[in-house]
């Protein structure tokens, strides 16, 4: 690897690392936010480590000790592929500092390689959490030779590279096809959505394949399963053979293939790199203009419409925020044709659960799709270096943040209510139940918008170089998702059991009152933050 790639890679890390800010700043509030973000991410890593460790122990007690290596490799590769395919386009193409980098003595291959290494480093804590946890479980159960431990860690560091290269190449293909069209952003968004939906449905496709091949027989024969995994994706088989059998040849094959694909992928991408980025940096002006009457709008309304235009103008923003809305509507429409019970059967894998049993949980199920990625968690930070324009305008912070909350409500409420209505029709809910579900749905959307805004303002980051840093990796996003997911899960399960005592309508309305109270509390928090 060339020295220039390492130099550029280290510069990217230093310029975007919050650790540098923590070392140099004297602002206690800023330090507290950074430390709080580290604590939040640390909790997520600990949860992942605990889950992987328990999975490894469970495999060991079932007698599938060698399968721990397979499971570790599958989890690392799968997670790396999904994470990369969602952000590869933003990191590799059309990024903000493109002109500055191209003016420096760096080749296209050096730039794109350093960007890839930056993505790899961002994913590394997740991959190491999986690898170390599974290794501890494997060590306790298998008692391998000492050299297996460093070999496991070394190869697990290489495992995510090939899936990330594949995801990056898909991002390149999507961007390459998209830039061939006049409205390339629309084409790129559609293609990205297609790949995301494919990745989302891959789990159910694999389950169907295993079911057709009698997965019980596969589990009964450990060697047969290993051969199936190895034949489907050889690097997993090489990893397993190297760390469980002490075979060095598979390790050498994995290292060699990774190096060859790394070099080949970025040689291909760099060939049309300038042309693609030039297209992305060039805006197309309309040739026809039409005079219309100017409409007067409130400041908050104008901010809301501006935020929605930004959402539809950014592929990464729209895919990460809009995917849940679209998926919710798709499932709602599908439930009308095949029935909600069949969808539930696929999710719970044939367990005896019906739509009537989980009827009170319908608003929470929909909210899992529409409320886990609120625009308001990242919209304050997305102002970035243009934040001074808003601050210099005759707008108060209260008007600005109200506009961002309204933007989220304009999208979340219709998606929540329409999907809930479709689910209710499929589940044959009564009219009064349907109305109560709608009330709870509105309360959930209001809570999501206001709580997300409180997190987004408190953990605002304006010095980002790539929008994906605040859309997917922002501290505000993590702080919002973690308690929101736990609270929604608790109330989803609680509503099912409580409805047996108080009835569905009363249970749902009590939940709506709780979320209304939480919305009021966080609205006061937003009001206080807007005064700073």
Running DSSP on this structure, what letter comes out for residue 181?
S
Percent of the chain residues topping a pLDDT of 90: 16
The predicted model gives 58-73 an average pLDDT of 78
Residue 79 has pLDDT above 60, yes or no: yes
Shared domain for 253 and 305, answered yes or no, is no
- Higher confidence at residue 229 or residue 101? 101
Residues whose CB falls within 8 Å of the CB of residue 39, separated by 6 or more in sequence, listed in order? none
290: in domain = no
One DSSP character per residue, 290-352 reads: ---PPPP--HHHHHHHHHHHHHHH-HHHHHHHHHHHHHHHHHHHHHHHH-HHHHHHHHTTT-S
- What is d(CA 515, CA 83) in angstroms, rounded to the nearest whole number? 31
171: in domain = yes
pLDDT of residue 2: 53
Lowest pLDDT segment from 94-103, 180-189, 400-409: 180-189
Shared domain for 184 and 314, answered yes or no, is no
Shared domain for 251 and 322, answered yes or no, is no
Q: What are phi and psi of 467, to 5 degrees?
A: -60, -25
Shared domain for 349 and 435, answered yes or no, is yes
Report how far apart the first and last C-alpha atoms of the chain are (Å, whole number): 48
Burial degree of 303 (CB within 10 A; 0-12, 13-18, 19+): buried
pLDDT of residue 282: 57
pLDDT band at residue 367 using 50, 70 and 90 as cut-offs: very high
Residues whose CB falls within 8 Å of the CB of residue 481, separated by 6 or more in sequence, listed in order? 372, 373
Residue 138 has pLDDT above 80, yes or no: yes
Length of the chain: 532
- What is d(CA 156, CA 261) in angstroms, rounded to the nearest whole number? 17
Q: Which residue among 253, 281, 309 closes a domain? A: 281
For the chain, helix (H) and strand (E) counts, in that order, are 25, 0
pLDDT band at residue 318 using 50, 70 and 90 as cut-offs: confident
One DSSP character per residue, 44-99 reads: HHHHHHHHHHHHHHHHHHTT-STHHHHHHHHHHHHHHHHHHHHHHHHHHSS-TTHH
Range of the structural domain that residue 60 is part of: 3-13+28-281
The predicted model gives 421-430 an average pLDDT of 89
Shared domain for 318 and 248, answered yes or no, is no
Residue 22 has pLDDT above 90, yes or no: no
Running DSSP on this structure, what letter comes out for residue 282?
P
Domain count, the chain: 2
269: in domain = yes
Residue 51 has pLDDT above 70, yes or no: yes
Running DSSP on this structure, what letter comes out for residue 104?
S
Shared domain for 154 and 121, answered yes or no, is yes
pLDDT of residue 213: 46
Shared domain for 339 and 477, answered yes or no, is yes
- What is d(CA 429, CA 303) in angstroms, rounded to the nearest whole number? 38
Shared domain for 378 and 255, answered yes or no, is no
293: in domain = no
What per-residue string of b and e applies to 251-271 under the rule 16 or more CB within 10 Å gives b? bebbeebbeeebeebbeebbe
Shared domain for 367 and 418, answered yes or no, is yes
153: in domain = yes
Shared domain for 338 and 475, answered yes or no, is yes
Q: Which residue among 231, 254, 281 closes a domain? A: 281
Shared domain for 204 and 237, answered yes or no, is yes
Residue 122 has pLDDT above 60, yes or no: yes
12 neighbors 115 (Cβ within 8 angstroms) = yes
Shared domain for 142 and 110, answered yes or no, is yes
287: in domain = no
pLDDT of residue 200: 58
Residue among 170, 206, 4 at smallest CA distance from 87 = 170
Number of CB atoms found within 10 A of residue 205's CB: 10
pLDDT of residue 212: 47
pTM: 0.69
pLDDT per residue as tens digits for the range 372-404: 888 999 888 888 777 777 777 788 888 889 999
Residue among 463, 461, 442 at smallest CA distance from 511 = 442
291: in domain = no
20: in domain = no
Going 194 to 326 to 281 to 169, the CA torsion angle's sign is negative
């Amino acid at each position: 690897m060339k020295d220039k790639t390492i130099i550029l890679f280290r510069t990217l890390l230093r310029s975007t690392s919050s650790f540098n800010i923590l070392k140099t700043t004297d602002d206690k509030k800023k330090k507290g936010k950074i430390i709080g973000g580290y604590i939040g991410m640390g909790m997520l890593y600990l949860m992942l480590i605990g889950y992987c460790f328990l999975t490894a122990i469970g495999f060991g007690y079932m007698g599938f000790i060698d399968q721990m290596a397979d499971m570790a490799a599958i989890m690392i590769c799968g997670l790396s592929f999904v994470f990369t395919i969602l952000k590869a386009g933003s990191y590799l193409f059309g990024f903000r500092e493109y002109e500055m980098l191209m003016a420096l003595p760096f080749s296209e291959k050096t730039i794109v390689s350093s960007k890839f290494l930056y993505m790899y480093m961002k994913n590394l804590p997740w991959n190491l959490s999986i690898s170390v946890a599974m290794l501890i479980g494997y060590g306790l159960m298998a008692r391998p030779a000492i050299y297996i431990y460093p070999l496991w860690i070394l190869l697990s560091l290489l495992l995510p590279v090939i899936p990330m290269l594949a995801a990056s190449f898909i991002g390149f293909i999507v961007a390459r096809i998209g830039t061939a069209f006049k409205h390339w952003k629309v084409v790129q968004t559609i293609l990205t959505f297609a790949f995301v939906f494919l990745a989302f449905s891959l789990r159910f496709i694999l389950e169907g394949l295993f079911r057709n091949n009698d997965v019980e027989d596969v589990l009964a024969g450990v060697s047969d399963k290993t051969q199936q995994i190895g034949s489907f994706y050889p690097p997993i088989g090489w990893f397993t053979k190297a760390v469980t059998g002490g075979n060095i040849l598979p390790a050498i094959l994995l290292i060699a293939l990774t190096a060859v694909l790394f070099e080949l992928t970025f040689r291909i991408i760099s060939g049309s790199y300038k042309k693609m980025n030039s297209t992305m940096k060039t805006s197309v002006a309309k040739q026809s203009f039409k005079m219309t009457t100017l409409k007067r709008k409130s400041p908050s309304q104008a901010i809301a419409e501006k935020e929605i235009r930004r959402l539809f103008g950014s592929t990464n923003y729209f895919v990460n925020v809009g995917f849940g809305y679209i998926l919710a509507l798709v499932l709602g429409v599908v439930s009308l044709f095949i029935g909600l019970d069949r969808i539930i059967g696929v999710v719970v894998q044939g367990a005896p659960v019906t739509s009537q049993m989980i009827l009170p949980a319908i608003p929470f199920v929909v909210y899992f799709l529409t409320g886990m990625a609120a625009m308001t968690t990242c919209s304050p930070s997305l102002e970035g270096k243009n934040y001074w324009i808003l601050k210099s305008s005759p707008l108060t912070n209260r008007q600005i943040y109200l506009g961002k909350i309204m933007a989220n409500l304009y999208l979340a409420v219709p998606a929540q209510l329409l999907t809930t209505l479709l689910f209710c029709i499929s589940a044959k809910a009564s009219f009064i139940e349907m109305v109560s579900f709608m009330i709870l749905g509105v309360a959930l959307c209001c809570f999501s918008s206001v709580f997300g805004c409180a997190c987004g303002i408190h953990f605002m980051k304006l010095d980002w170089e790539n929008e994906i840093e605040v859309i997917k990796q922002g501290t505000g996003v993590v702080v919002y998702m973690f308690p929101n997911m736990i609270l929604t899960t608790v109330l989803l399960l609680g509503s099912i059991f409580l409805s047996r005592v108080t009835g569905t309508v009363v249970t749902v309305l009590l939940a709506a009152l709780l979320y209304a109270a939480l919305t009021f509390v966080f609205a006061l928090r937003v009001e206080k933050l807007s005064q700073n």
